[in-house]
Amino acid sequence: MNAERANRLEKLIFEYSVPGRGAEDQWPAPVESAAVEDLPEPLRRARPPLLPAVSELETVRHFTRLSQLNFSIDTNFYPLGSCTMKYNPKACNQYAMLPEFLARHPLAPDSAGQGVLECLFELQEMLKAVTGMQAVSLSPMAGAQGEFAGVAMIRAYHRARGDLERNEIIVPQAAHGTNPATATMCGCVVREVPVDAEGDVDIAALAAAVGPKTAGIMLTNPSTLGVFERRIEEVARIVHAAGGLLYYDGANLNAILGKVRPGDMGFDVIHVNLHKTFSTPHGGGGPGSGPVGVAARLAPFLPVPVVGRRGDRYCWLTERDLPQSIGRLSAFCGNVGVLLRAYIYMRMLGRDGMARVGEFATLNANYLLARLTRSGFDAAYPGRRASHEFIITLKRQARELGVSAMDFAKRLLDHGQHAPTTYFPLLVPECLLIEPTETESKAALDAFAAAMARILTEAAQEPEHVTSAPHTMPVRRLDDVRAAKQLDLTWKPAT
């Protein structure tokens, strides 16, 4: 977006600055000058920092206007496949913001934080119970770091056994998109395995790919194709027989919550995206959280710290207790504020509630798939029942009408619907990956299906209106190529 256009939407807060103006009531309390003088001279700033000089009301209006440009789960249906954009109950925020949680210093002694430690310990226990794993560490700061920790543990396990040749990670085409990057970051070589026409892992290709160099396989179940991997037990048998371990990407845990556990499918290690399944804030650069769970044989390698219990007291377990740990991934213990939100969510749901999440996530996806296919859309895997998400392919519409998946995605915005994930997985041409989640009502699903049907009619009658969408958003269609090539990152007005 060019600077002129952005200014028409909402200026930078610095551009409202008038020298001398301010919101003094909001300033922090003045620091005693004696305390300032304790700081070494070179660390003290000579000039005040460059802050916007704006009144309190101008600040409120600026940020309120910015927030009105958001297209979010709090305002619209958001079926972004693979991302599980479900509604996070406000109670999770409210209770995690209790002053007793907020004011605890991370370096306070264990004796002064038994309540927080108990919550974290119970969160570890609940994650173990729901994933079927034997031990959990909460310290990874995001899903990506959880993945990193998982593969790092697989490598540490093989190394500890003197099995030094195992450096290959098998990644089926239906695995989560981040998996090859994780394996590469951990120093492994990625071997891709195809899936068959029905979306299951090609067993013959897998059997041919495993061997003495196999460190493990990364997959998610249900897969990124929106279907349950039916031969998962066979996959586990083949990989284990070759000496490799199974890594479960928690991306699609929402579909099976309370119904079937990765540990029971034969997985050795899992990371859980708390922001997808357990109601913590999504993305935008964090704060995130990606706890890892492991089978017994990987437990010694868990990242530290983890919360332990001695008698009726809770304590941090560190490198002293887990000398084979892959180490620390964050200062202190991950993002405790985020972990508390997941804890509260899980306590509110309980075991039965979790099973209902899995059931309704799946029911909603299958209902929406049925409605869309009845309206003339093509399922990518027509013979298969959807998991919590499903793929439609617009290959036929692109060829016959010249209207692409991206055009549908953009036009949906005009109908008050957030676009589904587009062009992912790469395996399916002109695809939309649609995940309605369990928190949407039938009316919301019907409205989305109706919008899709209207766009399909429009694509046949007036295609240029679809290919030039959106028409009602604050910005029209962006020039993706120019945006990627000419980064326009402004943090203060040009002087």
Interacting residues toward another protein by CB under 8 A: 395, 399, 422-424, 426, 429, 480-481, 484-485
**Residue 115 vs 429, nearer CB to another protein:** 429
For the chain, the residue count is 495
CB of 256 to another protein, least distance (A): 28
**Residue 398 vs 445, nearer CB to another protein:** 398
CB of 322 to another protein, least distance (A): 36
**Residue 327 vs 429, nearer CB to another protein:** 429
**Residue 443 vs 487, nearer CB to another protein:** 487
**Residue 11 vs 482, nearer CB to another protein:** 482
**Residue 295 vs 406, nearer CB to another protein:** 406
The 3-state DSSP class for residue 195 equals strand
Amino acid in the structure at residue 351:
R
Among 176, 177, 228, 193, which residue's Cα sits nearest to residue 383? 228
Cα-based angle 327, 333, 334 (whole degrees, multiple of 5):
95
CB of 485 to another protein, least distance (A): 6
According to DSSP, residue 267 is labeled -
**Residue 214 vs 364, nearer CB to another protein:** 214
CB of 404 to another protein, least distance (A): 9
**Residue 57 vs 481, nearer CB to another protein:** 481
CB of 229 to another protein, least distance (A): 23
Q: What phi, psi does 136 have (nearest 5°)?
A: -135, 140
**Residue 194 vs 287, nearer CB to another protein:** 194
What's the rounded Cα separation, in Å, for the pair 476 and 75?
A: 20
CB contact set of 12 (below 8 Å; sequence gap of 6+): 490, 492, 493
What's the rounded Cα separation, in Å, for the pair 455 and 465?
A: 10
CB of 407 to another protein, least distance (A): 13
CB of 86 to another protein, least distance (A): 26
What's the rounded Cα separation, in Å, for the pair 48 and 53?
A: 12
CB of 105 to another protein, least distance (A): 42
CA distances from 140 to 171, 276, 292, 326, 401 (A): 22, 15, 7, 12, 47
CA distances from 365 to 219, 241, 256, 451 (A): 21, 35, 13, 16
Alpha helices in 225-335 (DSSP H): 232-241, 262-265, 274-277
Cα-based angle 43, 44, 45 (whole degrees, multiple of 5):
115
Q: For residues 25, 26, 32 and 36, what is the CA-based torsion angle, rounded to 10 degrees?
A: -140
By the 10 Å C-beta count (0-12 exposed, 13-18 middle, 19+ buried), 337 is classed as middle
**Residue 481 vs 494, nearer CB to another protein:** 481
CB of 183 to another protein, least distance (A): 13
Contact between 337 and 96 (Cβ < 8 Å): yes
CB of 390 to another protein, least distance (A): 20
- The answer to whether the peptide bond before residue 425 is cis (omega within 30 degrees of 0) is yes
Among 428, 423, 427, 395, which residue's Cα sits nearest to residue 409? 423
CB of 316 to another protein, least distance (A): 40
422 DSSP β-pair partners: 432
**Residue 421 vs 439, nearer CB to another protein:** 421
